[in-house]
Amino acid sequence: MSERFSYYGMRALLTLYMVAALFTMTRASEVYGTFTSLVYLTPLIGGYIADRYWGNRRSILTGGICMAIGQFLMFLSACFIQPSIQVEGGAIDPSVDNTLALWLMVSGLGMLVIGNGLFKPNIATMVGDLYPQDDRRKDAAFTIFYMGVNIGALLAPLVCGLFEGSFQDPGRFRWGFLIACIVISLSMIIFWTFKNRFLVTPDGRQIGLAKPKASPIEGGREEGLLTRSDYIHMLVIVILAVFVIFFWAAYEQAGSSLTYFADKQTDKTFFGWEMPTSWFQTFPAFFCVALAPVMNWMWQKMGRFEPHSIQKLAIGLALLSLAYLVIAFGVKDVEPGIKVSILWIISLYFIQVLGELSLSPIGLSLVSRLSPKKFASLMMGIWYLSTSVSNFAAGKLATLYPEEGQTKYLLGIPITDLHDFFLIFVVMSAVASIILFCLCPLLKKMMK
């Protein structure tokens, strides 16, 4: 929860901070996409380190410390930032030297990438370790885990968003970054203090410890070759990870193009009060927290009619396509600069979260069930690798966001307005969903 507070608090401010004084909208989208892709790439390395050397506990603690340092560097960056834009959306003034602030930001983002790589795969692996390998309760456990994660994601933009800066006062962003630093630091102190009391299975077995080094004879037996079934199960994980790329490439527009849309073309005024743009990122987290128990209850009440886990992933992609279809309809024929009702973006987030709850916690549970025990964290890292690719793709796709006086192209097709832009994600998600539904029988057979 605290790690997600730290991450989403920073994410809610990052693109706004960059656009306020450092980069153009297009450049900020590219930097954001690169950062988020690296955030989900490094869990592959963090998972390997935990499986091979450190164990989950040490990896989580080290990752948390790195993230706290990263947030503090972001705080320092905003302390040294100088206003460099005369009017909102204007060009960066080359006479204003923000080199120090830029390098502090880059260093901070780098530490956040390293810390997240050590933290993210290992916290999920420990949830799976609380249950036997094939226990069906893992779906419910990961849904509850996901709900807790999103409580942090819900609170972060609300708190950090209170310190949203502007092109006149970009330094105000620093307080949001500092709060994120304090929260992750406190959580690591709590984790260290209570790790031996709570990180245990019902039968009292400690989890998350580094594996003891085995003797050559024991090692040969323990580290034997994987079975044919293990390889097939890992192949299933990789195949599903490919489909997950399409989901998150659309979903992660929340931190870039949907933030611009909320900022520039959504009516945020209520009785004379204007909602901070960063608060829009609380909607997905709020819906996750509210709907996770409902979805959990619904799957369990369906009994033998409950869809297979792979079918749930396909349903998630279909719901995501529907979400973007709704907002594409809402912005049809809307000119640049014209603001639309807040209900359109709220509707998108509501349907999108239904898709997220059908896909993300179920995917984590699948990885936990299918992974060979000795490669559990590594396979979780491979799962997050797909999210890395999708975040990079999300950043590239966000650069197609239409700007007045510019025509952008995707595969030779002109993107002239918001309707065209949102249809990209409708088609992309729908095609992926249909293909995954068709592959369900084969993948279910491979999982046996």
Q: What is the pLDDT of residues 262-293, one digit of tens each?
A: 888 888 887 777 888 878 888 888 898 889 88
- Whether 323 shows a pLDDT value over 90: the answer reads yes
Distant-in-sequence, close-in-space partners of 101: CB < 8 Å, separation ≥ 6: 21, 22, 77, 78, 80, 81, 82
Percent of the chain beyond pLDDT 70?
A: 87
The letter for the amino acid at 73 is L
Map out the domains of the chain with their CATH numbers: 2-199+226-446 (1.20.1250.20)
- pLDDT in the model for residue 204: 61
- Whether 213 shows a pLDDT value over 60: the answer reads no
Mean pLDDT calculated for residue range 323-330:
94
Neighbours of 320 (CB within 10 A): 31
Distance CA 1, CA 176 (A): 17
Q: Give the model's confidence band at 65: pLDDT under 50 very low, under 70 low, under 90 confident, else very high.
A: very high
The letter for the amino acid at 3 is E
The DSSP call for residue 51 is I
The mean of the pLDDT values for the chain is 83
- Burial of residue 110, with CB atoms counted within 10 A of its CB: 0-12 exposed, 13-18 middle, 19 or more buried: middle
The letter for the amino acid at 219 is G
pLDDT digits 0-9 by tens, 145-189: 777 777 887 888 778 777 777 666 778 888 989 998 999 999 889
103 φ/ψ angles, rounded to the nearest 5 degrees = -70, -35
Q: How large is the C-alpha radius of gyration of the chain?
A: 22
* 415 within 8 A of 409, measured Cβ to Cβ: yes
- pLDDT in the model for residue 222: 45
Give the helix ranges, DSSP H, for 42-172.
Answer: 43-49, 55-80, 99-129, 137-160
Cα 384 to the chain's mean position, in Å?
9
Greatest mean pLDDT among 228-237, 328-337, 361-370, 372-381: 228-237
Distance CA 52, CA 151 (A): 32
Residues 140, 429, 346: CA angle, nearest 5 degrees: 70
